[in-house]
């Protein structure tokens, strides 16, 4: 793997889909050796996911090594223990209790390797009355409060268009792993990182809970606006739409001047933050009347000239063509054995000394069996052939 900040560390990735594997992707992007365990012949369900063409695994499986292993077999569980003895992290996102049922709970694994950091991602966490329930990201988004406030006020709650709950839980899992790694540097001992999807969503819910506990206010769906914060909305143009954020007093003054309506900045209805919030709908209508007379590019040029934050709604085509994306190498083209012009998001965040790197796309199922079982664990070819014949690997 590339020389990243986590070079020299080994992660055993168990589990499937997004909530666990995205954490593995983040760590692999920054140099960790990620050994992904997948069911023989079947593999991670992500291998068949994607809209149109199943390409998702090529992204979430990047920078990983794939081995096949039947975790329900005692011999498979014993192999996990052998890997744990040689690893820094074990990542799993099974339903709580599954690892314990297999004899792979932290109480057992820590006796093999006291420095092991076990990263556990689940819907509701490892404890509590809901812990044993099956949990998907969508349910965590609902329970964490995000789904209720997503969408238009006159419709049922909406999805944000991405598996954000899973990704947030995986990101917090990665953050927790780095904290645990520092603690290990100080003490020599590992610990358990318990990342629950609903709590990862909850952590991003701003002040929604104290707004209710203190003032009895419950946030509702508001569509594209920031309630009482104006102007900040999507406005139509002659060829599409742009998002403009001119809500700070000084920015709004420049924006009014940009629109050729400098008097609006002194108008009592719009002169202050509070006043603009109270007259948000009317102000948005005024701005929309102005933007409708210009192209999106013309609006953006004016906003840039006057120091008003603004931007287009980017899709993949706009991302690929954008000069800022190109200058920062936010996207990277990679050779794919089945598909031409395979482009995906690059490593984030950017580190100045150890920037991370994409070494490979998601590997073929079991592509690294020989390297891991033969070289790392020292199995001979006869043993591996026997395990494969019996469906253990």
Q: Tokens 């085509």: give the residue.
A: 317
Give every strand in the sheet of 33-38, ordered side by side: 64-68, 33-38, 10-13, 89-92, 117-122, 192-196
Q: Are 390 and 38 in contact (CB under 8 A)?
A: no
Q: Which CATH class is domain 232-313?
A: alpha beta
What is the three-class DSSP state of 92? Answer: strand
Rg of the Cα atoms in the chain: 25
CB within 8 Å of 200: residues ≥ 6 apart: 140, 144, 165, 168, 169, 171, 172
Q: Are 69 and 385 in contact (CB under 8 A)?
A: no
Mean pLDDT along residues 74-99: 98
pLDDT surpasses 60 at 25: yes
Helix (H) or strand (E) holding 255: helix 249-258
Position with higher pLDDT, 226 vs 2: 226
| Structure confidence at residue 53 as a pLDDT band (50, 70, 90) | confident
pLDDT of amino acid 388: 95
% helix / strand / coil in the chain, to the nearest 5? 40, 15, 45
By DSSP bridging, strand 310-312 and strand 240-245 are antiparallel
The Cα 310–Cα 291 span in angstroms is 12
pLDDT of amino acid 50: 83
Mean pLDDT along residues 320-341: 95
In tens, the pLDDT along 147-188 reads 999 999 999 999 999 999 999 999 999 999 999 999 999 999
The Cα 100–Cα 124 span in angstroms is 17
By DSSP bridging, strand 89-92 and strand 331-334 are unpaired
Residues of the chain with CATH 3.30.1540.10: 232-313
Q: Tokens 């509070």: give the residue.
A: 274
| Structure confidence at residue 105 as a pLDDT band (50, 70, 90) | very high
The Cα 69–Cα 88 span in angstroms is 19
Mean pLDDT along residues 372-393: 96
Mean pLDDT along residues 235-251: 96
The Cα 333–Cα 340 span in angstroms is 10
Q: Are 36 and 21 in contact (CB under 8 A)?
A: yes
> Phi/psi at 48 (nearest 5 deg)?
-115, 10
Which of the residues 29, 44, 88, 166 is marked catalytic? 166
The Cα 138–Cα 21 span in angstroms is 17
Mean pLDDT along residues 120-139: 95
pLDDT surpasses 80 at 1: no
pLDDT of amino acid 225: 93
User: For the stretch 352-380, what's the b/e string if a residue is b when 16 or more beta carbons lie within 10 angstroms of its beta carbon?
Assistant: eeebbbbebbbbebbbbbeebbeebeebe
Is residue 322 flagged as an active site residue? no
Task: Give the CA diameter of the chain.
Answer: 85
pLDDT of amino acid 92: 98
pLDDT of amino acid 267: 97
pLDDT of amino acid 2: 47
Mean pLDDT, the chain, as a whole number?
A: 96
DSSP state of 46: G
Residues of the chain with CATH 3.40.50.10540: 10-204+330-389
In tens, the pLDDT along 184-211 reads 999 999 999 999 999 999 999 999 999 9
The Cα 135–Cα 140 span in angstroms is 7
pLDDT surpasses 90 at 351: yes
pLDDT of amino acid 15: 87
Taking Cα atoms as reference points, which of 48, 66, 211, 194 lies closest to residue 121? 194
pLDDT of amino acid 247: 93
The Cα 66–Cα 74 span in angstroms is 20
The Cα 366–Cα 69 span in angstroms is 9
Q: Which CATH class is domain 10-204+330-389?
A: alpha beta
pLDDT of amino acid 250: 96
Q: What pTM was computed for the model? A: 0.93
Give me 31's structure tokens. Answer: 């140099």
Give me 297's structure tokens. Answer: 């590019």
In tens, the pLDDT along 276-315 reads 999 999 999 999 999 999 999 999 999 999 999 999 999 9
């Amino acid at each position: 793997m590339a020389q990243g900040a986590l070079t020299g560390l080994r992660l055993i990735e168990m589990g499937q889909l997004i909530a666990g594997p995205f954490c593995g992707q983040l760590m692999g992007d920054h140099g960790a050796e990620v050994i992904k365990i997948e069911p023989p012949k079947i593999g991670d369900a992500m291998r068949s996911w994607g809209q149109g063409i199943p390409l998702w695994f090529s992204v979430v499986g990047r920078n990983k090594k794939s081995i096949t292993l039947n975790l329900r077999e005692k011999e498979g569980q014993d192999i996990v223990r052998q890997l744990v003895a040689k690893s820094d992290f074990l990542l799993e996102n099974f339903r709580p209790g599954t690892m314990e049922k297999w004899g792979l709970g932290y109480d057992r694994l820590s006796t093999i390797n006291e420095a092991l950091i076990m990263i556990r991602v689940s819907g509701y966490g490892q404890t509590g009355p809901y812990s044993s329930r099956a949990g998907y990201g969508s349910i965590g988004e609902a329970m964490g409060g995000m789904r209720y406030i997503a969408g238009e006020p006159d419709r049922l709650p909406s999805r944000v268009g991405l598996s954000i709950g899973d990704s947030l839980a995986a990101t917090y899992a990665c953050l927790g792993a780095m904290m645990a790694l520092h603690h290990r540097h100080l003490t020599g001992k590992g610990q358990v990182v318990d990342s629950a999807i609903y709590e990862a969503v909850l952590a991003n819910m701003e002040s929604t809970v104290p707004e209710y506990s203190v003032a009895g206010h419950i946030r509702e769906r508001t569509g594209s606006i920031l309630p009482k914060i104006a102007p900040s909305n999507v406005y139509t143009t002659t060829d599409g739409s742009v998002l403009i954020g001119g809500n700070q007093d000084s920015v709004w003054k420049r924006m009014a001047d940009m629109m050729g309506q400098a008097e609006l900045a002194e108008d009592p209805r719009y002169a202050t933050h509070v006043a603009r919030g109270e007259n948000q709908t009317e102000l948005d209508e005024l701005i929309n009347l102005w933007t409708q007379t210009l192209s999106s590019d013309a609006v953006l040029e004016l906003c840039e000239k006057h120091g008003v934050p603004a931007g287009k709604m980017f899709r993949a085509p706009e991302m690929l063509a954008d000069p800022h994306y190109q200058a920062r190498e936010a996207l990277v083209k990679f050779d794919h054995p089945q598909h031409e012009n395979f482009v995906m998001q690059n490593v984030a965040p950017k580190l100045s000394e150890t920037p991370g790197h994409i070494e490979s796309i998601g590997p073929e199922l079991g592509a690294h069996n020989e390297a891991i079982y033969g070289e790392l664990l020292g199995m001979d070819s006869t043993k591996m052939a026997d395990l494969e014949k019996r469906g253990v690997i």
